[in-house]
Structure 1
Amino acid sequence: MSNIPTAKLNSGYEIPLIGYGTFGGHDAPEQVYNASKVALKTGYKHFDTAYIYQTEEALGKAIKEGDVPREDLFITTKLWQNFHEPQYVRPVFERSLKLLQMDYVDLYLIHWPISWEFQSYEFSDLKSTKDMKNTHVPIIDTWREMEKLVEEKKARSIGVSNFTIPMLEDLLSKCSIPPAVNQVEITAALPQEELLAYCKSKNILLTAYSPLGNPGYKKDSRATLDDPVILDIAKKYNKSPAQVVLNWGVNRGYAVIPKSTTPARIEANLTYFRLEDSEIEAITALGREHPYRSCRPENMWGPSCAIFN
């Protein structure tokens, strides 16, 4: 799939705008391994994982056994919130590299702008995240340790995830290396127009996680893939609703990282085509008046972790 567009990050590196996400695979590492091999054969070059997903090892194994040279791939992983204190950043990053069987990653993200007390590096020792308390480690303290990883060429780019505009403003006012990416929830129900415009103005690329919506929250979701607006556009282009929504994102100028373990869907998701401006606007309008955010930290971890309005 050589026609997948790329974007040039403020770090100077190119990132493919359609990637493969591995969230949700901690209970089925073999499934992630097999699906990642399919994605590699299909032509994906951008892969997204995280320490807390427990999919780094499966992804790394698939890449190591594959035929695609490491330098042709763009690999993202993330720092979990138990490791925000500066002394824990490097050790947990090195663990990620070891699990991935790599000497560097292309992008290292702060997973959430929330810090918890250190418990352990081992997944088996991490306590329940229910009602965890935000310990308010300054983001800049964590960030400065990540900047060192760039200087040492262990992380080619660094960025953030789930950051609001005020959080980005604060980080930009203090950092030496600006974030290259902000990975956030963007769906047809949550078009994130203000954040997208802001990040474009600061040369920060957005990446959309759960770009097709979050099935776990489907009972509350709006502007789903079966919306008539999306269905009509899909029919016009002879594409699936999922392909339409993914390309709505790419056409708006950000990366998308859909996840699937079904080979046919993995292949279908790696499809790029142009939408008309009026069609992009029609989909954006679906979530404009009453945007709905499905991934809210206060619902997952308790009220002290609330970060969104």
Structure 2
Amino acid sequence: MFAPVVPRVEFSNGYSMPMFGLGTYLSVSGEVEKAVKYAIDIGYRHIDTAFYYKNEKEVGDAIREKIKDNTVKREDIFVTTKLWNTAHAEDKVVSACRKSLENLGLEYMDLYLIHWPIAFQDNEDLMPVDSTGLLMFSDTDYLETWKGMEECVRQGLTRSIGVSNFNSHQITRIMEMATIKPVNNQVEVTVNLNQVPLIEFCKKYGITVTGYSPLGRPGNRRGVANSLDSSEILAISEKYKKTPAQIACRYVYQQGAAPIPKSVTPSRIKENIDIFDFELTSEEMKTIEMAGSGVRMGSFPDAKDHRYYPFAIPF
């Protein structure tokens, strides 16, 4: 069966992460379990989920089934999940982490991330709003949240911790106070939003980068052109006899980020990971970079008034 050799990147704490994975955001109930099983069957070893996605249980069921049938061992699979915005208070983090582990049915996770630097009020509703429909923010500082994340490591609930959607200023603040350093920042990285400055910044601190939505969520935003249809991508695609999606994933990988494209379609899941038998030239990388529009798909506009909204500065 098709099983590409996926390179790994070493974390600053000695653990390592496969540089390609399966994203599960917006994967609906009934589809994600089959997708994860198929992905593992064909060689995926990095699975990304989040409490907010509401699919941790299905993802965990799939992983445990593949362990049970001896396709993989637990140590072969790298599992990432994320702390949601309603549990940012330091005394809420460990219990939220335990809940995610309960959902997954695993004894530990490989990487636990703060999903956003933005805190919401503690609420059963994951997107709590007031009577006017505005999100109910909390002023909890993510530095407090980080102390709870460190406790998750001390209790053996997760091997590594990191952040997601954090800008360079926010990462600097954490690095200045952390006793356990973040090993990863998961951010949007696409042919449109190449994140070169942020990736280089993270490298200086020994922080790896995971790139979500590497295909740019084609068709998800009305009026935004599908970047995979650009003449530059199509020309490079023809040269290598690869699909535009494969060119996009390879581009993100060569930028130094681990792509985690989301799909529940077997043919696409197989196609996406087939990027390790060719290499884009420096000229092609530059061509794609210059053609990028800079459009961000995951901008979270409803939270733009929060004091820690991450996209208010360039990177």
Give the TM-score of the pair, scaled to structure 2: 0.91
Cα distance between partner residues in 2 of 1:294 and 1:149: 31
Provide the residue aligned with 1:91 in structure 2.
Answer: 95
SS at match of 1:304: coil
User: What amino acid is the match of 2:53?
Assistant: Y
User: What is the distance in 2 between the residues matched to 1:304 and 1:174?
Assistant: 22
CA contact (8 A) 2:168 2:198 kept: yes
1:101-146 C-alpha deviation (Å, 9 max, x unpaired) = 10000000000000011113xxxx5465552133121111111111
Letter in 1 for 2:302: M
Q: 1:138-149 maps to which residues of 2 (within 5 A)? A: 138-149=141-152
Distance 1:167 1:133 in 2: 21
Greater displacement, 238-247 / 144-153: 144-153
Q: How big is the shift at 1:247?
A: 0.6
Tell whether 2:83 aligns with 1:79.
yes
Asked if residue 245 in structure 1 is aligned to residue 248 in structure 2, the reply is: yes
Picking from 4, 7, 31, the partner of 1:5 is 7
* SS of corresponding position for 1:303: coil
Distance in 1 between the 2:117 and 2:310 partners?
Answer: 8
Q: Aligned equivalents of 1:304 and 1:131: distance in 2?
A: 11
Conserved in 2, the CA contact under 8 Å of 1:221 and 1:294? no
In the alignment, which residue of structure 1 is the partner of 2:188?
185
Query: Retained in 2: the 8 A contact 1:225–1:231?
Result: yes
Contact 1:86 1:145 in 2 (8 A): yes
User: Alignment partner for residue 111 of structure 1, among 98, 104, 115?
Assistant: 115
Q: Does 1:276 align with 2:281?
A: yes
CA distance in 1, matches of 2:126, 2:20: 32
TM-fit CA distance, 1:215? 3.4
Q: Deviations over 1:79-112 (max 9, x none)?
A: 0000001111111111100110100000000000
Residue pair 2:50, 2:56 contacting (<8 A) in 1 also: yes
Q: How does 1:224-263 map to 2 (within 5 A)?
A: 224-263=227-266
With over 3 angstroms needed to count, the CA separation of the structure-2 counterparts of 1:216 and 1:109, relative to structure 1, is: farther
In the alignment, is the contact (CA less than 8 A) between 2:81 and 2:112 conserved in 1?
Answer: yes
From 208, 213, 218, give the equivalent of 1:210: 213
1:22 counterpart residue number: 24
Residue 291 of structure 1: CA displacement?
1.4
Q: 1:175 to 1:265 in 2, by over 3 A?
A: same
What root-mean-square deviation, in Å, do the aligned CA atoms of Structure 1 and Structure 2 show? Answer: 1.6
Q: Distance in 1 between matches of 2:150 and 2:159?
A: 10
* 1:106 aligned counterpart, secondary structure: strand
When normalised by structure 1's length, the TM-score is 0.92
The aligned residue for residue 58 of structure 2 is 58
Contact preservation (8 Å) 1:223, 1:286: no
The 1-side partners of 2:290 and 2:60 are apart by 39
8 A Cα contact 2:118 2:306, kept in partner: no
Q: Indicate yes or no: 2:46 matched with 1:46.
A: yes
SS of match in other structure, 1:29: coil
Q: Contact between 2:84 and 2:114, CA under 8 Å: does it hold in 1? A: yes
Preserved contact between residue 35 and residue 262 of structure 1 (Cα < 8 Å): yes
Partner letter of residue 82 of structure 1? Answer: T
Kept after mapping to 2: 8 A contact 1:132/1:302: no
Q: Structure 1 residue 222: deviation in Å?
A: 5.1
Q: Is 1:155 matched up with 2:142?
A: no
Query: Gapped runs of 5+ residues in structure 2?
Result: none
Give, in angstroms, the shift of residue 202 of structure 1: 1.1
